[in-house]
């Protein structure tokens, strides 16, 4: 962004904040019966169960108003094909087009599987550290949120995220990402992607709870996270994770 344009926009935005601030001061919809300090959320993903139907991607877009184009995602599903000649291809599948994925001769395939991805809601989030205006932060229940009103659309966080989980929303020109469907989970509903998953490849829950599907998932499986060497400590954990998954 040019400096002049930036200043122009920030002036316009400041004025908008003023108006919005007024509105929000009145519309204080306090959530009753919800105490964020009593929760700490995480998600488990069983790769062996994912059938790559893309229902999660579709539901996420519908629930959160993510633009329909296939390069804006809060959650997405990658198809990995590891060929016998050791070549690896990764494609993001598009649920709108039935067989959008490239076809491979079956005899050339060594292994193949789907990997659902989303924001890892890291314990040590690099995106929070780089934000120059403090627009993104971690809530008491462990979810990383973006304040679209504060965000200036500089894209630092998009660059900093090692998982490619953020995108610049073309409508608001601010950074956007998965919130674990914060508006749903605070009302006791499941995130939309978990709600519609037909095979329960996604398991959502409280990492603090000892008797929950998530706790059981972690006890019964060998668990990995993506890019553990970066020390981001993701709260999204995977079972059956192949060594080729990046």
Using CB positions, name the residue nearest to ligand HEC.
Answer: 198
49, with CB counted inside 10 A (0-12, 13-18, 19+), is middle
Does residue 200 belong to the site contacting ligand HEC (CB under 6 A)?
Answer: no
Among 9, 13, 17, 53, binds ligand HEC (CB under 6 A): 53
Q: What is 46-57 written as a DSSP string? A: EGGG-----HHH
Does residue 216 belong to the site contacting another protein (CB under 8 A)?
Answer: no
> What are 104's strand-pairing partners?
none
Number of residues located near ligand HEC, criterion CB under 6 A: 4
Residue 54 interacts with which of ligand HEC, another protein, none, CB < 5 to 8 Å by class: another protein
Rounded CA gap, 12 and 47, in Å? 46
Radius of gyration from C-alpha coordinates of the chain: 19
Rounded CA gap, 52 and 79, in Å? 8
- Decide: 24 and 188 in contact? Cβ < 8 Å: no
Among 198, 228, 231, 233, binds ligand HEC (CB under 6 A): 198
In order of 47, 103, 120, 124, 164, the CA distances from 44 in angstroms are: 10, 29, 10, 18, 19
Residues 139-178 that bind another protein (CB under 8 A): 139, 145-150
Site string for another protein, 40-79 (x = CB under 8 A): --------xxxxxxxx---x--xxx--------------x
List interacting residues with ligand HEC (CB under 6 A): 53, 55, 198-199
List interacting residues with another protein (CB under 8 A): 14, 17-18, 20-22, 24-25, 27-29, 31, 48-55, 59, 62-64, 79-81, 95, 98-99, 101, 104, 106, 109, 112-114, 134, 137, 139, 145-150, 179, 182-184, 186-187, 189-190, 192, 195-200
């Amino acid at each position: 962004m040019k400096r002049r344009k930036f200043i122009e926009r920030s002036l316009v935005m400041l004025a908008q904040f003023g108006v919005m601030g007024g509105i929000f001061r009145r519309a204080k919809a306090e959530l009753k019966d919800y105490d964020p300090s009593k929760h700490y959320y995480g998600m488990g993903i069983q790769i062996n169960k994912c059938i790559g139907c893309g229902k999660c991607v579709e539901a996420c877009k519908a629930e959160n108003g993510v633009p329909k184009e296939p390069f804006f995602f809060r959650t997405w599903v990658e198809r990995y094909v590891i060929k016998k000649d050791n070549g690896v291809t990764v494609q993001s599948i598009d649920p709108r087009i039935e067989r959008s994925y490239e076809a491979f001769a079956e005899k050339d395939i060594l292994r193949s599987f789907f990997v659902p991805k989303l924001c890892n809601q890291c314990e040590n989030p690099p995106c929070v550290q780089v934000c120059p205006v403090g627009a993104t932060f971690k809530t008491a229940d462990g979810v990383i949120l973006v304040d679209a009103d504060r965000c200036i659309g500089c894209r630092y966080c998009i660059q900093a995220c090692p998982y490619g989980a953020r995108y610049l929303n073309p409508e608001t020109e601010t950074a956007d990402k998965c919130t674990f469907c914060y508006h749903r989970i605070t009302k006791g509903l499941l995130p939309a992607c978990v709600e519609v998953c037909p095979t329960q490849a996604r398991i959502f829950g409280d990492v603090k709870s000892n008797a929950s599907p998530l706790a059981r998932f972690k006890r019964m499986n060998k668990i990995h996270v993506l890019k553990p060497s970066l020390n981001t400590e993701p709260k999204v954990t995977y079972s059956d994770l192949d060594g080729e998954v990046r």
